[in-house]
Amino acid sequence: MPEPHHRPRLAVALDAPGVPPRHDAAHYTALARLAEHGTLDFVTLGDRFGGPGPDALAVLARIAPDTERIGLVPTVTTTHTEPFHVSTAVATLDWVSRGRAGWTVEVSTTEAEAALVGRPQVLGFARTGRDPHQLLGFARTGRDPRPAASPAEVWSEAGEVADVAGRLWDSWEDDAEIRDRATGRFVDRAKLHHVDFTGRAFSVRGPSIVPRPPQGRPVTVVDVTGETDGPDGGPSPSTGDLPRGGSRERGRSRDLGEGARREVAAARADVALVRAEDPQTAGAARADLLARARAHGRALGGPLVLASLPVELESSGDAAGLADLLGDWFAQGVADGFHLRLADPVRDLPRFVEGTVPLLRERGLLRRSYEGTTLREHLGLPRPASIYALAREAAR
């Protein structure tokens, strides 16, 4: 059952800008277990084409058996990735984690990342007979690049990917897998459904090759404000408008199709992350997202909105100040919870769990133990029924 929510939802990033990525599973497992000890709702792990570091989804699938309750939310870039593969990978994560998976929808907007795919170069080889390794070399050096689409275009495509992923997860009804030894039937074919989706950039017939995930639909997350400018995109030492444990980010927010991001979040997301430096900004973004969600006909009002805050905990006073800040913002009703982007997860996460978490628990703002077992239950989100099962029942 979903948990009642008179408290903020809490999540933390396992990575940080400016901190070199790690490639050992033990590092991520230790951080996730620590977050689980603090009874947080979920952890996130970023990823992008062309960047350093391991594949986020694979890492969280690896640590899933070593954790029990914490939600696991990797970034998945939908651009240049087949929607069927996205759906299958996220569903698999939900199965191996026993219902604790989510995914953060992201896009690729640079020509350098587009060139990594190399599709025009492969076509060029078919026409000219040139060696394909030479053609890939042209991509790496910037010649003959694959043009990158605009942010609005790739976010429109991302919305379609999120849509079709949900349809594929629904394409197996919950009781489609029967495993009847007597008749030799593994599935009830009447409960498998073609999705027959045709979008502007792709089409998918379905059904999925993976049974319906434990959560029905894993939790979909969208960061509606994206990254920030600055030397490393990370937090600066100055606290600015985020005192007592928060930190101001350098530079201004990039225009990475924020309007298109918000439309995808309003229409498709279960959780939206909003990077904000003051409660007024967070509250305005939340109101805008909920209004957009209502315009999309979402009966329950739209996504949960989490303020995504840069945090640097240099002292015990910072840990206490952060508890004050989170409590103040939540009391003002500007966010449904918080996503903490720690300056140094190895240093700051223990300080948060040991210093801030006990204060939040004392104030009734954080559970002392998990009541549910799935990420949806942690967040207070209902498990959705398959749209195809509902249609079949309605047609009877």
Conformation bin of residue 337: beta by default, left when phi > 0, alpha when psi is -120 to 50: left
Between strands 304-311 and 271-275, the pairing is: parallel
pLDDT tens readout for residues 109-137 = 887 787 777 644 333 333 344 443 343 33
Output the six-digit token pair for 81: 């990735």
Task: Give the residue from 49, 92, 48, 87 showing the smallest Cα distance to 72.
Answer: 92
* C-alpha–C-alpha distance, residues 168 and 103, integer Å: 15
pLDDT tens readout for residues 71-117 = 999 999 999 899 999 999 999 999 999 999 999 999 988 877 877 77
Position 364, amino acid = G
Q: How far is CA 261 from the centre of its chain?
A: 13
* C-alpha–C-alpha distance, residues 163 and 248, integer Å: 35
> For the stretch 302-336, what's the b/e string if a residue is b when 16 or more beta carbons lie within 10 angstroms of its beta carbon?
bbbbbbbbbbbbeeeebbbbbbebbbebbeeebbb
* C-alpha–C-alpha distance, residues 27 and 321, integer Å: 28
Mean pLDDT of 218-243: 59
pLDDT tens readout for residues 348-387 = 999 999 999 999 999 999 999 999 999 999 999 999 999 9
pLDDT number for residue 126: 38
pLDDT surpasses 80 at 279: yes
Q: Is the torsion defined by CA of 218, 62, 158, 266 positive or negative?
A: positive
How many CB atoms lie under 10 A from the CB of residue 383?
16
pLDDT tens readout for residues 297-335 = 997 779 999 999 999 999 878 999 999 999 999 999 999
Which carries the bigger pLDDT value, residue 117 or residue 291?
A: 291
In the DSSP assignment, the letter for residue 168 is: H
pLDDT tens readout for residues 333-348 = 999 999 999 999 999 9
pLDDT number for residue 322: 98
Q: How far is CA 12 from the centre of its chain?
A: 12
Using omega within 30 degrees of 0 as the cis cutoff, is the peptide bond preceding 207 cis? yes
Task: Give the residue from 179, 119, 182 showing the smallest Cα distance to 148.
Answer: 119
pLDDT number for residue 149: 76
DSSP letter string over 290-323?
HHHHHHTT-TT-S-EEEEEEEE---SHHHHHHHH
pLDDT number for residue 316: 79
pLDDT surpasses 70 at 232: no
- Whether 292 and 260 have beta carbons less than 8 Å apart is answered as no
pLDDT number for residue 266: 98
% of the chain with per-residue pLDDT over 90: 69
pLDDT tens readout for residues 25-63 = 999 999 999 999 999 999 999 998 877 889 999 999 999
DSSP letter string over 111-163?
HHHHHHH-HHHHHHHHHH---HHHHHHHHHTTSSPPPPPPHHHHHHHHHHHHH
Q: Where are the domains of the chain?
A: 9-123+148-229+254-395
pLDDT number for residue 50: 76
pLDDT number for residue 1: 54
Mean pLDDT of 271-285: 97
pLDDT band at 244 (very low <50, low <70, confident <90, very high): very low
CATH tag, 9-123+148-229+254-395: 3.20.20.30
% of the chain with per-residue pLDDT over 70: 83
* C-alpha–C-alpha distance, residues 190 and 206, integer Å: 14
Cα 217 to Cα 171, 179, 268, 316, 382, distances in angstroms: 11, 23, 11, 39, 10
pLDDT number for residue 300: 73
Q: What does R_g of the chain's alpha carbons equal in angstroms?
A: 22
pLDDT surpasses 70 at 241: no
